[in-house]
Structure 1
Amino acid sequence: MITRRDFLRLTAGTMTGALGVFPARAAAEPALETTMITLNQIPGICVAPQYVAEELLRSEGFADVRYAKFGTAGLYTALASGEVDLSMAFVAPFITQLDAGAAIVLTGGVHAGCFELFGTEGVRSIRDLKGRTVAIPELGSPHHVFTASMAAHVGLNPVRDIKFVIQPAEKSAQLLQDKKVDALMGFPPVPQELRAKKIGHVIVSSGADRPWSQYFCCIVGANQPFVHKHPVATKRALRAILKAANLCALEPARAARLIADRGYRYEYAFQTMKEIPYGRWRE
């Protein structure tokens, strides 16, 4: 386990050089309006920067850093209600929430390329999903919204042409192996596990295949009243997460150890750090 002292000592040089953040400049900044912040933890590894950011948040002045566990789909409601102040999450459900008038502000993109569509041998393209069964954890989840968006992009009607079945993420891989479903959308660590177990094959990789590789997958959203009341805290929290994204890109093994300390498998965390372009948030 990496201690807080070790983490800050080891990251100081890396982050100063990568981001151009110098102590004198930080010391001249206005004080935080609040020293408490609540983020969210989900089963996925791709939001790794906000886990790696815990000690960076403390170095920004947040004395009380909390991680709620509202899950993947429940996060959006929690952000709108203020139960979570700020958190990384998948962009597609953010858009549907904003369309519905949710009290959420999008503050910045972090990375592209975390989701992959897997299928059985009979499914070779997105168009092959017509008349097929796709496993998702729930309607409105990132898995559902991303799959529906990709289907619509190639001319399918996701409501009429695809049968979505609700299955827990931990069961979907076995269903795909048993050919009881034709496809599933996977977020880390699911793609890493599927490849390790040789289950299915990749139909679309958002890290490699256009146009999906050109868009942010995970971005930072915040509760609207929190942003209005705490603009300095919002800026500093976003900065900590972006510093952490750079760390994931520059020091993947170290970042993976921090992720493993939260209960994730190290080997899948390390693969995720290597595969996702965490360093491209500036582009």
Structure 2
Amino acid sequence: MHTRIFVLVIAASALLFTGCKKSSSSKIVNSKHVRIGFIGLTCEAPIYTAYEKGFFKDEGLEPELVKCSWAQYKDNLALGSYDITHHLVMYFLKPIEQGLDVRFLGGVHTGCLRVQTAVNSPIHTIQDLKGKRVGVPGMGTPPFVFANRVFGTHGVDAGKDITWKVYPAGELGLALRKGEVDAVANAEPIGSLLIAEGTARTVEGMDEATDEPYAREYCCEIIANGKWIDANPDSAARATRAILRGAVWVQQNPKAAAALAIEKKYLASTVELNTVALSRLKYIPSVKVAEETLYTAAREMREAKMLSPTTDTDALAKRAFQHLEGVTDEWRWPG
């Protein structure tokens, strides 16, 4: 039932914004002012880095950061409250299926989601979660979507076999300790924090960083408002390159990137824990693999009943990705 509710809510949301479909008559503006959305997560380090290190300005852009919430993130992008960000592939595929005009532009990193249970829990495998209570930071949030995908491809009906319970992200660990839930689905840095404090361990097969096929896919990719891309193709390419450059810097300097995020108050954690969380993620930008990820994710989301059974997932993946001039796997920042 909960999976069906998720699908219906996302579908209704997407239908509100189908007026944003690509138009061949879009006027090319290429505004230098670009608004970058963020939530305040560990994995958004490339955005913080690109902003603080001047990578957007190096591309000739005038960047503005726009703080958003998970609950409104899709709608904010669709409505043009911000122009570009990087976020979870699976979070946006359903709205794109329903007509939302947002497009992926490049891959940023792998591995920020997982499902965890208490360290002394009898739960070890995906099948062990049948009939259990799983805490999530919200219905339709990335951790919820990831868990649904894994359940759906392993014979667990996420609507019938799982009882979903919603808690603020920072209270998932408390709910687990109090026994209010049997497992939690979360994103970094929550997962690393729960392990570091001895509260949780990861359920086998439900770690996006280490378990196949998720470890070979991009968790988060750069995504932008389609109407904005059409009017600002050069600016979109420049912003994409700035974020990809930020990803490279984070991969090469995880501790410095972790410290930057804490010192600039993008998220509440410690440098030590944020460094551990960042080190779990692989920031190796790619365009080719980013596009390939959409095909795999879409197929498994359909199998998990998160996409319509009649959806041509290859056509969906093709529509969801846009290649920009000057953004390729061969591109490197000069010097």
Quote the residue 2:274 is aligned against.
269
Alignment of 1:147-162 (within 5 A): 147-162=147-162
**Structure 1 residue matching 2:112: 3-state secondary structure:** coil
Is structure 2 residue 41 aligned with structure 1 residue 44?
yes
The answer to whether the 8 Å contact 2:105/2:223 transfers is yes
CA distance in 2, matches of 1:211, 1:165: 27
In the superposition, the TM-score normalised over structure 2's length comes to 0.72
Measured after TM superposition, the shift of residue 152 of structure 1 is: 0.2
State the one-letter code of the partner of 2:171. Answer: K
**Structure 2 residue matching 1:87: 3-state secondary structure:** strand
Alignment of 1:163-202 (within 5 A): 163-202=163-202
Measured after TM superposition, the shift of residue 279 of structure 1 is: 2.4
CA distance in 2, matches of 1:75, 1:169: 16
Match of 2:237 among 231, 235, 238: 235
Measured after TM superposition, the shift of residue 280 of structure 1 is: 5.5
Worse overlay, 266-275 or 164-173: 266-275
Count residues in correspondence: 252
CA distance in 2, matches of 1:105, 1:168: 29
**Structure 2 residue matching 1:208: 3-state secondary structure:** coil
Quote the residue 1:113 is aligned against.
111
Measured after TM superposition, the shift of residue 208 of structure 1 is: 1.0
The answer to whether the 8 Å contact 1:256/1:273 transfers is yes
Q: Which runs of 5+ in 2 are unaligned?
A: 1-28, 290-335
The answer to whether the 8 Å contact 2:61/2:238 transfers is no
Q: Which runs of 5+ in 1 are unaligned?
A: 1-31
CA distance in 2, matches of 1:56, 1:174: 39
Alignment of 1:1-283 (within 5 A): 33-54=30-51, 55-63=54-62, 65-120=63-118, 121-203=121-203, 204-263=206-265, 264=267, 265=269, 266-279=271-284, 281=286
Runs of 4+ with deviation above 6 angstroms: none
Worse overlay, 225-234 or 75-84: 75-84
**Structure 2 residue matching 1:38: 3-state secondary structure:** strand
The answer to whether the 8 Å contact 2:244/2:285 transfers is no
Root-mean-square deviation over aligned CA pairs? 1.7
Measured after TM superposition, the shift of residue 230 of structure 1 is: 0.3
The answer to whether the 8 Å contact 2:110/2:209 transfers is yes
Measured after TM superposition, the shift of residue 194 of structure 1 is: 0.3
The answer to whether the 8 Å contact 2:136/2:186 transfers is no
Measured after TM superposition, the shift of residue 130 of structure 1 is: 0.9
**1:86-115 CA deviation, whole Å, 9 max, x = no partner?**
001111111011012112111111111111
The answer to whether the 8 Å contact 1:47/1:218 transfers is no
State the one-letter code of the partner of 2:41. Answer: G
User: Cα–Cα, structure 1 residues 77 and 146, in superposed 2: closer, same or farther, change >3 Å?
Assistant: same
Worse overlay, 212-221 or 270-279: 270-279
State the one-letter code of the partner of 1:44. Answer: L
The answer to whether the 8 Å contact 2:209/2:281 transfers is yes
State the one-letter code of the partner of 1:235. Answer: A
CA distance in 2, matches of 1:132, 1:262: 39
**Structure 1 residue matching 2:43: 3-state secondary structure:** coil
State the one-letter code of the partner of 2:123. Answer: V
State the one-letter code of the partner of 1:48. Answer: A
**Structure 1 residue matching 2:42: 3-state secondary structure:** coil
CA distance in 2, matches of 1:246, 1:261: 20
State the one-letter code of the partner of 1:49. Answer: P
